[in-house]
Amino acid sequence: MIEVDKLWKKFGRTDAVQDLSFAVPEGSAFALIGANGAGKTTTIKVLMNILEPTRGTASVLGVDSRKISPRELAQIGYVSENQDMPEKLTVAQFLAYLRPFYPNWDIELEKSLLRQLRLPLDRKIGDLSHGMRMKMSLACALPFRPKLLVLDEPFSGLDPLVRDEFMEGLLQQAGEMTILISSHELGEIDGVATHVAFLDEGKLLFQESMSDLVGRFREVHVTLDHNGKPTKEIVAPPFPKCWLGIRTVGNVLSFVDTQFSESDVNERLRSLVGHVKTVDAQPMALRTIFTTLARASREGALQ
């Protein structure tokens, strides 16, 4: 559905996106994750032919992003937190304006979305709250049953109630749709994304399926059996690169294992730190995985 190959985008001397390659499988919900300024929005704007790539290629629906025409755009829904819409049109007027551009516009679906999202039809877009605008943006992106739905930071600044309404609206219509969603928090796409790619300072750090990601991250607490020796003598660098956020309190060593494997955890720990009394490995929430990754990335611990 989307193929990105060695994509670069420069703004002056700044490399906003560097050598980015990833693929979004058809029918997946692909999350582009990264801190603010990581290059997520730039990547999406290149995919939508709003920006031209400096180098490399990107294709969307099998078409080079630079050649995306109204035919492709009629199959792509786009929702962004920073989309300029005609402020003086009412919601109803804007929907009426958009309809003729989409041959597959389903008026019944539009009505059902408006009901579900509880949008005030006669209110001007300029008078809508941020949450309402995002819901309206979604209501404008779904009635033509797009093959690809691109959501750029859709949850940013939404209160939990609106976020839930938004998600409900989205999930009910998702069907066979491929979704590309960008967010600066993994937690936000919990339950939505099937695949994830992590961007940092314009570079792709990894991409994988959500199940693999959740499966390999564990918060590990190891109680050491140090026989009176100082903990510092037993637990000393170098540590494995897959350990992040390492700390010791008394005789307890804690870290995040980014390559956790149930079968060989005890054996690996013994080979690294000697005698181990107990090992407690807890699955991590997506939000915690994200913050750990972001912190490690800033500290240069991720390679």
Partner 1 sequence: MKSIKMVWHIFKKDVRLLWPFVLGAAGIQFAHAAVRYALDQAGAAEAQTLSMLLQVLTPVSQLAAAFLIATAVHQDAVPGVRQDWLVRPVRRKDLLFAKVLFLLVMVHGPILLADMFEAMAHGFPLGQALASAITRSLLLLGFLTLPALAFASLTRNMTEALIGGVILFFIISSAFQLIVRSGHQSPLLQTGLGWMGGLSVASLLFLGAAVIFTMQYFRRKTTFSRWLGAGVVCLGFLTYNLLWQWQVAFALQERLSPAPGAGRSILAVYAPTLGKFWLPEGVNRNNVTKTNAGTRYEASTVYVPVHLTGLPDDGVLNADRSQVRLLALDGKLLYQGPGDNLLVRKQGHQGPIFFTIGSFGFVRGIKTNDLSVPQDGEAWIYHGIPLPRDLYPHLRNQPLRLEIDYSFTLLQGGTSYIPALDGKQVLPGLGRCTTKMDDDGDDIDFHCMKTLPPPSCASLFLEHVPSGRRNPAVFGCQPDYAPFLDQLVPDGIARFGVGLRFHDLYGLAKFPVEAGDLPQSRVVVRAYQPQEHFTRQLVIPQIRLSDWESVEHTQLAQNH
> Minimum Å distance from CB 87 to partner 1?
9
- Under the binding rule (CB under 8 A), the answer on residue 102 touching partner 1 is yes
Closest residue by Cα to residue 281 from 219, 212, 211: 219
Cβ proximity to partner 1, 53 vs 294, nearer residue:
53
Cβ proximity to partner 1, 76 vs 204, nearer residue:
76
Q: Are strands 29-33 and 178-183 parallel, antiparallel or unpaired?
A: parallel
> Residues 6 or more apart from 48 whose CB is under 8 A from it?
60, 65, 68, 76, 78, 150
- Under the binding rule (CB under 8 A), the answer on residue 88 touching partner 1 is yes
- Under the binding rule (CB under 8 A), the answer on residue 76 touching partner 1 is yes
Preceding omega of 120 cis (within 30 degrees of 0): no
- Under the binding rule (CB under 8 A), the answer on residue 133 touching partner 1 is no
> Minimum Å distance from CB 171 to partner 1?
22
Cβ proximity to partner 1, 99 vs 216, nearer residue:
99
- Under the binding rule (CB under 8 A), the answer on residue 50 touching partner 1 is yes
Cβ proximity to partner 1, 18 vs 137, nearer residue:
137
End-to-end CA distance of the chain: 28
Span near partner 1 by CB under 8 A; candidates 46-54, 128-136, 242-250, 272-280: 46-54
CA distance linking residue 272 with residue 237, whole number of Å:
10
Closest residue by Cα to residue 173 from 110, 120, 107: 110
Pick one of 12, 36, 84, 238: the residue that binds partner 1 (CB under 8 A): 84
- Under the binding rule (CB under 8 A), the answer on residue 104 touching partner 1 is no
CA distance linking residue 220 with residue 283, whole number of Å:
9
Report yes or no: 121 and 89 within 8 Å, Cβ to Cβ.
no
Residue ranges binding partner 1 (CB under 8 A)? 45, 48-51, 70-71, 73-74, 76, 78, 80, 82-86, 88-89, 93, 97-98, 100-102
